[in-house]
Amino acid sequence: MMIVGLVSNSRREETRIIAKEIASVIRSQGLEVLEDWKEGDRLPDLLVVLGGDGTILGTARRCGHLNIPLLTINLGRVGFLAELEVNELDEYLERLIKGEYRRERRMMLQIMVTRNGERLFRSDALNEVSIMREGIGRMIRLKVLVDSESLAEYIADGLICSTPTGSTAYSLSAGGPVVMADTQAMILTPVCPYTPALKPLVLDAGKTVRVIADSDQIILTADGQDTIMLSTGDQVEIRRSPHSIDLIKLKEHSIFEVLNKKLYLTEAPPKR
C-alpha cells in the first residue's frame, strides 16, 4: 500500500479544511495517509505539499536529505513551484497511484557562515540565498571569490545566489536570467550595484562561491525563511548541496508554458 504524507500550512483554517478533504479523497483510493506529516514521523512514499511557494520551499529544505518526492498543490497566489491546482487532484490521482509520473530532480544550495573560524549557520536552499543590507541608508560591500579566485567587490544593495529553480524568483526580479530547471548552475545576481558593469553571472554548479562581508548590518536569508545577521569579516560559503529534491510531474507541459502562465510573459496578468 502506498503511504502518502500530507504537509500543509496548518495555521490557516481554510488550509486545514482543504487538507482534510484531500486526505479523505486519497484514502478513498485505498492509500494510507499520514496527515500533518513532519520530519521524524514514519517515512512516506511521497509527500503531498499543500500551500504556496513558501510552504513548498520550507518542506524541500527540511526534507531534501530524505529523498522523498514531492507532489505540490497550489493554495497560494502564483504557486510557481506547484504542479497542480487544488481542483485538479481528482483528475490526476489515478495516474499518481499507477506511478504514471516522472520525477524532476532539482539541485539545492548549501550555505555555511563562519565567524573567526567558527561555524554559526548552515542551511540548504531550493531557490536562493540573498545577502542584503538590513536598512535603507547605505549600500553594503561584499568581496566575492569563486573557487578561491577573486571575482569582484560588490558595492550594492545586495547579492543573490540562486539555483535554476530560483532563477524565476527573487533573482529574476533583480534582473537575473531565467535558467532551465534541469541545468546544473548557480546564478549570481547583484541587487542595484553601484557599478553598472556588474551584471548577473551564471556559474557551473561545481563551483564554490565565497562571500566576505566588508560591512555590518547585513542580513543573509535562505529561501526567504532561514536568516542570520552578518558582521564585517564573516564568510559565507555557497556550494551545490549534496541533497536535492524530486518534484513529481503529472502534466505534459513545457517550462515555457509554465513561464507564460505564471509570469505572464505574453499577456497581461488578470485584474484583481
Cβ atoms of residues 185 and 202 within 8 Å: yes
Q: Is the dihedral of CA 71, 76, 81, 82 positive or negative?
A: positive
| Cell 503531498 -> residue | 48
User: H helices of 192-271, where?
Assistant: 255-263
Cα-trace Rg, the chain? 20
Q: Is 81 helix (H, G, I), strand (E, B) or coil?
A: coil
Task: Write down the H helix ranges in the chain.
Answer: 13-27, 53-63, 89-97, 170-173, 255-263
CA 33, 39, 44, 46 dihedral sign is positive
Positions marked active-site = 53
Strand partners, 156: 140
- For the chain, how many residues are written? 272
Residues contacting residue 12 through CB under 8 Å, at least 6 positions apart: none
- Distance, CA of 140 to CA of 156 (rounded, Å): 6
Q: Report the distance separating Cα 137 and Cα 193, nearest Å.
A: 15
